[in-house]
């Protein structure tokens, strides 16, 4: 039995989460597994009910679970709160820290039938975009101390800190992933300016030489990586980077694909416990209308099966079902281009089509 903390959150969160749970139920049946869901509030809805984006009750439910399936949080209503009380930051950062979710994995992919959505001219991604970004998630400038605004408001300080061990554990995941992918890791840093990057580069290089001689390792400065992504994204297989650079580059890469509604993410700790969430936002403008794209949420559930429950086959099942659903022309509004081959459908209808294939 696998216990899942289900935190739908705000905006389109609840309705896409509902579809993910339907898919999980079908997988449970097919693979004779039991999933026990514990629903709880997070983000804006938690602020409204309990005055905090991450209530104790929710945290307790997460602690008692084997994985967290997270929807999305935030919206205009809570935008003017101080940063640490805002839905996204106020829920995600504490969850990452509490569960030591040091690894953020984002598979960035242009789905063939959706290549039209990509920001780039076709000539710049002829070989496709299929990148696995590994972002370190509990270190670097996000959590380093000292970190303060001086009392008189004249200056402020943040500290970017990395230890050898922090670099090794995320780098290992990247190298392991490269082994079952294209065998190439691009480590992104700013070693011409930052000392933490000098350490990063050295540690990653040594790890490669000692334990992953079969993997091709290259290094790139972050400014160059930001450029290469918009010019030649096909060159990347696995990208390995720190917390801050990963935040920027993974969003840039995701947006490039033009299909935020299609992209999941996994945040993992050393015990295989993880938080799984779509990378798009809460899309408050279309919430409650049964028109949102449930794919990213369903793919997040697939990542959960793979990384927290060891159910790789089931995860692949879901991914294939989604590919087929797209190939058959099913489209929610965000990925509908009005072509003859396309059928515009609702959130539930899209999920129905996926379920049929499972």
Residues that bind ligand IPM (CB under 6 A): 88-89, 92-93, 192-193, 223, 247
Tell me if 159 contacts its own copies by CB under 8 A.
Answer: yes
Per partner kind, with CB cut-offs from 5 to 8 A, the member of its own copies, ligand IPM, none near residue 220 is: none
Backbone angles phi, psi at 240, to 5 degrees: -120, 125
Backbone angles phi, psi at 87, to 5 degrees: -55, -50
Q: Report the nearest approach of its own copies to the CB of residue 114 (Å).
A: 14
Question: How many alpha carbons fall within 13 Å on the CB side of residue 84?
Answer: 2
225 near 188, Cβ under 8 Å? yes
Considering the complex, state which of residue 7 and residue 93 has its C-beta at the smaller distance from ligand IPM.
93
Tell me if 128 contacts its own copies by CB under 8 A.
Answer: no
333 CB burial (10 A radius; 0-12, 13-18, 19+) = middle
Cα(234)–Cα(228) distance, rounded to whole angstroms? 9
Per partner kind, with CB cut-offs from 5 to 8 A, the member of ligand IPM, its own copies, none near residue 72 is: none
Q: Pairing between strand 184-189 and 67-72?
A: unpaired
Per partner kind, with CB cut-offs from 5 to 8 A, the member of ligand IPM, its own copies, none near residue 163 is: its own copies
Q: Pairing between strand 130-136 and 103-109?
A: antiparallel
Q: Interacting stretch for its own copies, rule CB under 8 A, among 2-10, 11-19, 26-34, 141-149?
A: 141-149
Long-range contacts of 22-26 (CB under 8 A, 24+ apart): 22/351, 22/355, 23/298, 23/301, 23/318, 23/351, 23/354, 23/355, 23/358, 24/301, 26/355, 26/358
Q: Interacting stretch for its own copies, rule CB under 8 A, among 12-20, 127-135, 156-164, 264-272?
A: 156-164
349 CB burial (10 A radius; 0-12, 13-18, 19+) = middle
Tell me if 112 contacts its own copies by CB under 8 A.
Answer: no
Backbone angles phi, psi at 226, to 5 degrees: -60, -30
Considering the complex, state which of residue 224 and residue 341 has its C-beta at the smaller distance from its own copies.
224
Q: Report the nearest approach of ligand IPM to the CB of residue 93 (Å).
A: 5
Does 79 carry a binding-site annotation?
yes
Tell me if 109 contacts its own copies by CB under 8 A.
Answer: no
Q: Report the nearest approach of its own copies to the CB of residue 77 (Å).
A: 16
Q: Report the nearest approach of its own copies to the CB of residue 33 (Å).
A: 36
Q: Which residues are tagged catalytic?
A: 142, 190, 223, 247, 251
- Closest C-alpha to 136, from 110, 99, 162, 107: 162
Q: Report the nearest approach of its own copies to the CB of residue 203 (Å).
A: 8
Does 209 carry a binding-site annotation?
no
Cα(251)–Cα(295) distance, rounded to whole angstroms? 18
Q: Which residue ranges make up the site for its own copies (CB under 8 A)?
A: 83, 86, 88-89, 93, 118-121, 124, 141-142, 144, 147-149, 153-165, 190-196, 198-200, 202, 222-224, 226-231, 244-245, 247-252, 254-256, 258
């Amino acid at each position: 039995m696998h216990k899942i903390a289900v935190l739908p959150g705000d905006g389109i969160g609840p309705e896409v989460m509902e579809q993910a749970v339907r898919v999980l139920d079908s997988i449970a049946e097919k693979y004779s597994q039991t999933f026990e869901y514990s629903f709880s509030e997070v983000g804006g809805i938690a602020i409204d009910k309990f005055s905090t984006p991450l209530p104790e009750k929710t945290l307790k439910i997460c602690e008692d679970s084997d994985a967290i399936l997270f929807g999305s949080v935030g919206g205009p209503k809570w935008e003017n709160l101080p940063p640490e009380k805002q839905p996204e930051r106020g829920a995600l950062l504490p969850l990452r820290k509490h569960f030591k979710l040091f690894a953020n994995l984002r598979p960035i992919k242009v789905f063939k039938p959706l290549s039209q959505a990509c920001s780039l001219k076709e000539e710049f991604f002829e070989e496709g975009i299929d990148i696995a970004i590994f972002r370190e998630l509990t270190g670097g400038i996000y959590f380093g101390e000292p970190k303060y605004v001086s009392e008189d408001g004249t200056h402020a300080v943040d500290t970017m800190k990395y230890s050898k061990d922090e670099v090794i554990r995320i780098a290992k995941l990247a190298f392991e992933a490269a082994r079952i992918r294209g065998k190439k890791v691009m480590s992104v840093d700013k070693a011409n300016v930052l000392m933490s990057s000098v350490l990063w580069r050295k540690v990653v290089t040594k790890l490669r030489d000692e334990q992953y001689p079969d993997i091709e390792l290259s290094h790139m400065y972050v400014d160059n990586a930001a450029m290469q992504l918009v010019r030649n994204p096909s060159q990347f297989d696995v990208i390995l980077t720190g917390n801050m650079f990963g935040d920027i580059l993974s969003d840039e890469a995701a947006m490039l694909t033009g299909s935020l509604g299609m992209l999941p993410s996994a945040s993992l700790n050393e015990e295989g416990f993880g938080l799984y969430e779509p990378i798009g936002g809460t899309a408050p403008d279309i919430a409650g209308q049964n028109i949102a794209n449930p794919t990213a949420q369903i793919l997040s559930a697939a990542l959960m099966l793979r990384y927290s429950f060891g159910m790789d086959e089931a995860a692949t099942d879901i991914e294939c079902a989604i590919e087929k659903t797209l190939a058959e022309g099913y489209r929610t509004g965000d990925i509908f281009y009005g072509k003859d081959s396309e059928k515009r459908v609702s959130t539930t209808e899209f999920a129905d089509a996926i379920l049929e294939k499972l």
